[in-house]
Each structure stands twice: as structure tokens, then as C-alpha cells.
Amino acid sequence: MTQKRSLLLVIGYGFTATLSIFYGLVEKQSLFVTFVCFHLLVCFCIPVLHAWWEGSLRKSWLLAWGKFEGKGTIRGLAFGVLLLIGGTAGIWLLLQAGGRAVQIRGVLEAWGLADRWIWWFSLYLTVVNSLLEELFWRGFVLQRLARSLARSVAVLLTSFFYSLYHLVVSTVLFGYQWGCFITLLIFAVGGVWGWMKERFPSVYPTWISHMLADLGLVIPVIWWIY
């Protein structure tokens, strides 16, 4: 009964992540509110409180973080470079549509991203966001789902929840059709990171890969939108 309850809680956390993004970006239209709700309350507080409830806070933290792995880090770096190039090129192609860059800038400014914050935003999104997402999705959600489900099912379910809130962001910025396509790509990438987490349990391979992927999203914002 306790294991089923924990499984349902983790699934609930997956939906909570999307609700926090929806609340911050769609309802409040604020990046600050979004970061507080998603990064602080969901990515940080939920794993800490859940592990404390389980009585395994230190063990859970060590499992999520792990030890540095050279081979895994090289794999993560290589995959991250591919994502960096692909993400930058893909957004550049999307921005070729007339007026799209101006439209996206208008949305980002409505969310509170002024010119003076662009470099801090880029640094935060690349380093902090990637770390918190990896610790939450691959270091917390995936590991707990894998206790009750087959590893492949746990990876797919984690990737689903991970990509779900990206549907909100990509749809607002690029429209419904492109938003769905981008979300499918993110689902696939999340599946690869889930596989990497199984092969290389530490956070470093997926974190480095995730940082480079986010950098591929930040570069177009700096160069072509702002």
C-alpha cells in the first residue's frame, strides 16, 4: 500500500510540474513566478520533502547526484553537442517566418524578460535550470517510478511528464503545430537521458548534455530575438 501511494504521489508530481509552468507563464505571465513555482517548489521542495517523508533524505540526495563518471560524461558531452547544434539550427529555421522573432520577443517581454536581464536569464536557464530538471526528473522521479514499474516504462513515463510542460511553452511561442512537434522531440531527448541515467547513474552526463541543449535554445534568443 505504501509503495502504491508513493507511486501515485510521484505521478501527481509529474502533473504538478506542468501546472506550475501553466500557472506562471499563462495565468501570471511572469518568468519570476514560474521559476519560483517550478524550480523552487517543484524541483527542489518536492524531492526534499518526499525524501524526508520516506526517511531517506541523505540517501536519496547521494543517489540523485552520484559520482563523477568520465565515460558517461564524454557520452553526455557528445550528445549535448548534437543537441546544441540541432537546437540552434532548428530555432533559426523557425525564426525565418516573417515577424516570428518580433512576436516571440513580445511574449518574452510580457513575461518580464527585459534587455538588462537577458544575460542573467541565459546563465540561469543554461546552468541552474538544467541541473534542477535533471535532479528532479532523472534523479528523483525516474528513480522512484523504477521501483514500481519496469525500467523502460519508468523512462517513458518520466519523458512524458518532462515533455508535457514543454508543450505549454513551445505552443505559446511557436503555435500549436510546431509546439506539438517540438514536444515530441523533447520527449525523445528525455528518453535518451533516461537511458543515460540507467547506464551512467551520476547527474553529470545528463546535466552536461542538458546544459548544452539549453544553450542551443539560449543562443537564438540572444542573437536573433534580442
Chain segment 67-108, per-residue pLDDT in tens = 888 899 999 999 999 999 999 999 999 999 889 999 999 999
- Residue 35: pLDDT band (50, 70, 90) is very high
Q: Convert the pLDDT of each residue in 105-134 to its tens digit.
A: 999 999 999 999 999 999 999 999 999 999
Which amino acid is located at 71 in the chain? K
Per-residue DSSP letter, 112: T
Which amino acid is located at 183 in the chain? T
How many CB atoms within 10 Å of residue 173?
19
How far is the C-alpha of 156 from the C-alpha of 160, rounded, in Å? Answer: 6
Question: What's the mean per-residue pLDDT of the chain?
Answer: 94
CB 69 within 8 A of CB 198: no
For cell 500557472, the residue is 23
Average of per-residue pLDDT across 1-18: 85
- Residue 6: pLDDT band (50, 70, 90) is confident
- How would you class 132 by CB atoms within 10 Å of its CB: exposed for 0-12, middle for 13-18, buried for 19 or more? buried
Average of per-residue pLDDT across 134-150: 93
User: Which of 16-25, 61-70, 137-146 shows the lowest per-residue confidence on average (mean pLDDT)?
Assistant: 61-70
pTM, entire model: 0.94
How many CB atoms within 10 Å of residue 114?
10
Cell of 175: 503555435
